């Protein structure tokens, strides 16, 4: 019941009793008014307006309830959480599928770990540790200014990658496997210099396109010097590994487009690059034979077309649901490179269409995180680094799946995070750790430099193209342009 307020005329309306009989007299109704402040009823005619007594005794208005801000991580996944889930799922899928592909017919029932599967599991643990270790380090440390841009550590890392790609070509130094010299023995493990080279190019272009030590709007004095390190790495790698060199070139083009170079510069460079790629393919007999076998694999069923036919058989026998984990047949000596280049065919045979869609969805999750990180309002180096890492992972996964589905000629590219590997898996997870660091640490956009105004005799001032983007320059120019009163 509302409290009594002095000076408030009240009356209690008489209402008929619900239990009264039909012949029982009832009291007449009285028109009542509700006080908007104290809630009491009044028989005084008029509008429901508070009197002076009510205004003096009115309670203070209630304060608005301010909602407590909640962290986004409470009710939804953050970008770095999505990235961690996708990376861990792909690495775990790779451990299971490499073990399954490495299994042979032993005559003993049950699941038994092979030496290949155990070794890959150890590398996977090291790769996960590298992913989180790099992810908790601020990526901005790679972009710290130096006295001279030519002394930047990213340039030294690029030089080290180029030297390693050169050393691997030396006979009796580089390790030759299956006719290709692509590995450097480093104690108990083998390092693939091409993996260092492709990620060094991503770091270099991210730093170069954000800092712009040279004017990239000029073709000979800015754009061409930018392509010299990329061309040097590609030429050193293409001698023994055409697929990785083509991957680096494709990723470099996408990063240059993201770095907003001029289109006519790319139009002048891409045709000579394609001509050089055609020459390197036609110069090696086995590369050109792969291209011709791709046109008709069944015409070369016993030679170059054998990989493609066996891969297609894996897809056809797997169907929608697959044969079950470990029940594949093509891995039993029929499908070559079943743990590396054609691991996706084994996934489709044993896990079916659902396993293939799950694998593709995990890669799309990584690309989604990279795209969202690039769209954020942050520093240019972080945006380009996220785009470059996503572009490299996406292009490599796309090429490997295209090779497994016989959509492009056979290339020696592994499926990132899934195929068996040692140094390549660790380096790839470390690179994805940089993407995790970009999502974890947020830095403000690069400040735009405002040039000093040009002093002229009249009230009109000329401003350069760089000053057009600065609101302060516009306000100063408008203030000087107005006539004095």
Answer yes or no: do 262 and 225 share one domain: yes
Answer yes or no: do 48 and 145 share one domain: no
Residues 216 and 248: their CA atoms lie apart, in Å, by 20
Answer yes or no: do 404 and 339 share one domain: yes
Among the candidates 401, 418, 440, a domain finishes at 440
Residue 321 sits in which domain range?
Answer: 78-105+112-440
Q: What is the DSSP secondary-structure string of 64-127?
A: PPPPPP--HHHHS--HHHHHHHHHHHHHHHHHHHHHHHH----S--S----HHHHHHHHHHHHH
Answer yes or no: do 46 and 192 share one domain: no
Answer yes or no: do 6 and 93 share one domain: no
Answer yes or no: do 286 and 412 share one domain: yes
Give residue-wise pLDDT tens across range 260-297: 888 899 999 999 999 999 999 988 888 888 888 888 88
User: Is 446 inside any structural domain?
Assistant: no
Measuring CA to CA, which residue among 91, 94, 103, 92 is closest to residue 331? 103
Among 98-112, 135-149, 251-265, 390-404, the minimum mean pLDDT is found in 98-112
Residues 423 and 164: their CA atoms lie apart, in Å, by 14
Q: Report which of residues 69 and 77 the model is more confident about.
A: 77
Answer yes or no: do 351 and 427 share one domain: yes
Place of tokens 């929608």: 320
User: Is 450 inside any structural domain?
Assistant: no
User: Is 270 inside any structural domain?
Assistant: yes
Answer yes or no: do 94 and 38 share one domain: no
| Position 34 pLDDT exceeds 70 | no
Answer yes or no: do 250 and 334 share one domain: yes
Answer yes or no: do 416 and 291 share one domain: yes
User: Is 40 inside any structural domain?
Assistant: yes
Among the candidates 403, 422, 440, a domain finishes at 440
User: Is 62 inside any structural domain?
Assistant: no
- If one counts the domains in the chain, the total is 2
| Position 410 pLDDT exceeds 70 | yes
Answer yes or no: do 40 and 172 share one domain: no
User: Is 476 inside any structural domain?
Assistant: no
| Position 81 pLDDT exceeds 70 | yes
Answer yes or no: do 372 and 335 share one domain: yes
**pLDDT-based confidence at residue 24 (cuts at 50, 70, 90):** very low
* Residue 258 exposure: Cα atoms within 13 Å on the Cβ side: 29
User: Is 121 inside any structural domain?
Assistant: yes
User: Is 366 inside any structural domain?
Assistant: yes
pLDDT for position 295: 87
pTM of the predicted protein model = 0.76
């Amino acid at each position: 019941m509302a409290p009594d307020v002095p000076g408030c005329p009240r009356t209690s309306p008489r209402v008929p009793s619900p239990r009264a009989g039909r012949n029982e007299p009832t009291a007449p109704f009285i028109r009542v008014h509700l006080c908007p402040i104290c809630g009491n009823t009044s028989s005084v005619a008029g509008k429901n307006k508070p009197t002076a007594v009510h205004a003096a005794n009115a309670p203070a208005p209630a304060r608005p309830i301010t909602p407590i801000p909640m962290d986004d991580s409470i009710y939804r996944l953050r970008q770095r959480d999505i990235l961690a889930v996708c990376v861990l799922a792909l690495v775990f899928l790779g451990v299971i599928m490499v073990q399954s592909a490495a299994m042979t017919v032993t005559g003993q029932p049950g699941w038994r770990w092979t030496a290949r599967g155990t070794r890959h599991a150890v590398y996977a643990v090291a790769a996960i540790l590298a992913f989180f270790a790099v992810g908790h380090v601020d990526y901005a440390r790679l972009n710290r200014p130096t006295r001279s841009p030519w002394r930047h550590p990213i340039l030294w890392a690029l030089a080290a990658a180029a030297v390693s790609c050169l050393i691997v070509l030396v006979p009796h130094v580089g390790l030759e496997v299956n006719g290709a010299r692509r590995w450097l023995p480093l104690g108990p493990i083998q390092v693939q210099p091409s993996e260092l080279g492709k990620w060094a190019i991503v770091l270099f272009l991210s730093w170069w396109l954000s800092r712009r030590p040279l004017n990239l709007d000029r073709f000979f004095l800015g754009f061409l010097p930018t392509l010299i390190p990329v061309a040097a790495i590609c030429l050193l790698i293409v001698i023994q590994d055409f697929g990785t060199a083509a991957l680096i070139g494709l990723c470099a083009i996408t990063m240059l487009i993201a770095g907003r170079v001029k289109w006519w510069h790319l139009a002048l460079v891409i045709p000579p690059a394609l001509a050089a790629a055609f020459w390197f393919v036609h110069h090696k007999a086995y590369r050109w034979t792969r291209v011709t076998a791709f046109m008709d694999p069944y015409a070369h069923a016993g030679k170059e077309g054998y990989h493609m036919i066996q891969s297609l058989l894996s897809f056809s026998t797997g169907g929608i649901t697959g044969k079950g984990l470990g029940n594949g047949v093509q891995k039993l000596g029929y499908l070559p490179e079943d743990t590396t280049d054609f691991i996706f065919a084994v996934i489709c045979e044993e896990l079916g269409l659902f396993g293939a869609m799950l694998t593709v969805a995990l890669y799309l999750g990584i690309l989604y995180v990279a795209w969202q990180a690039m769209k954020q309002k942050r520093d240019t180096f972080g945006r380009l680094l996220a785009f470059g890492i996503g572009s490299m992972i996406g292009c490599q996964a796309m090429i490997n799946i295209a090779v497994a589905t016989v959509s492009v000629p056979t290339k020696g590219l592994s499926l990132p995070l899934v195929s068996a590997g040692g140094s390549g898996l660790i380096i790839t997870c470390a690179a994805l750790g940089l993407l995790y660091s970009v999502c974890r640490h947020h830095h403000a956009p690069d400040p735009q430099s405002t040039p000093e105004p040009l002093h002229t005799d009249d009230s009109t001032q000329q401003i350069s193209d760089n000053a057009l983007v600065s609101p302060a320059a516009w306000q100063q120019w408008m203030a000087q342009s107005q006539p004095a009163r």
